Amino acid sequence: MIGKKHLGLLALSSCLLGAPAFAQSVNLYTTREPALLNPVLEAFTADTGIKVNAVFLKDGLQERIRAEGANSPADLMLLVDVGEINAAVEAGITQPLKSATIDKVVPAQLRPDDNWVTLTKRARIVVASKERVAQDAITYEELADPKWKGKFCIRAGQHPYNNAFFAAYVAHNGPDKAEGYLKALRANAARKPGGGDRDVARDIQSGLCDVAIINTYYIGLMSQAKNEQKGWFDAIKPLKTTFANGGTHVNVSAVALAKNAPNKDNAVKLVDYMLGEKAQALYANGNFEFPVNAAVTDSAAVKLLGPVTPDKLPLSEVAKQRKSAADLVDKVGFDS
């Protein structure tokens, strides 16, 4: 007769036998939403046999890795803003990330630091009322024109999306011109800066404003909405948006190799996989972002909005001006 102890061991053995066996794994810490990443991570595991242990953190990713120290299990960090990824590098919790695939697929501008690599891009552009705005193109500088007084909407200036955009403006034009620009934008605002990017589309539909700044992926998400947001999408049109002396401002989702990565080889394999055509299509289409792999030409964002020519200003230069931009926002009372 089998005792209770042996029955328990048999049950545990059955569970282990019934579970998938993974000889290798990689540990990913990320601030992305699970629904956006899981299809890519599941495909990677299916194709390579390497299990991805993903830790999804809304906040405190860098603090957690620093607290874990040399014993941190983190292999990779996937973040959604050039300022965040640059801060991770400055915090000393990354190490150089290199491979032949990275060199082949990712333009140098999108990997300005050996410690991180861009996976997808999102553009921050101007949208306008289909009914009330005739033009189809605009420069960021034109938003300061008094003709938009009382017709411009934007979320808070200190939000990371706008902080990166304003930092790019500082990098292009210097802090003095940037200060004047922020004052002009604030003077043109139809309401106090705030809310979310989709809220500015709502306010265009209602007639509160005629032009606004928005991340491109929100346009895509609204286009698929089954609620009132579909009406917000129908009320707006994207304008071809560039700096007067450059291209379109883009921000990125990017990946960095953790300083004490215990599974470094598998981490590089995951990065290479995410830069491949299959994963780029899955990842970009899941959130209407622009793929970094030029071979993926028919992504959802491109189909909806057309291709984007990123500004040639190095993202490292944008990151350097983040504090200056934040200080200027406070100085001019942009969010007050």
76-79 vs 152-153, strand pairing mode: unpaired
Phi, psi dihedrals of residue 261, rounded to the nearest 5°: -50, 120
Instruction: Please name the amino acid found at residue 30.
Output: T
Say whether 218 counts as a known binding-site residue.
Answer: yes
The whole-angstrom separation of Cα 162 and Cα 2 is 67
The whole-angstrom separation of Cα 217 and Cα 287 is 6
Contacts of 100-106 spanning 24+ positions with Cβ under 8 A: 101/271, 101/272, 101/275, 101/276, 102/271, 102/272, 102/275, 105/275, 105/292, 105/293, 105/294, 106/275, 106/292
- Residue 260: CB atoms within 10 A of its CB come to 16
Within a 13 Å sphere around the CA of 49, how many CA atoms are in the beta-carbon half? Answer: 4
Encoding tokens for residue 197? 């990017």
Encoding tokens for residue 304? 């909806």
The secondary structure of residue 141, as a DSSP letter, is G
The whole-angstrom separation of Cα 288 and Cα 221 is 7
**252 in Cβ contact with 291 (< 8 Å):** no
Binding-site positions for Fe cation read 217-218
Binding-site positions read 217-218
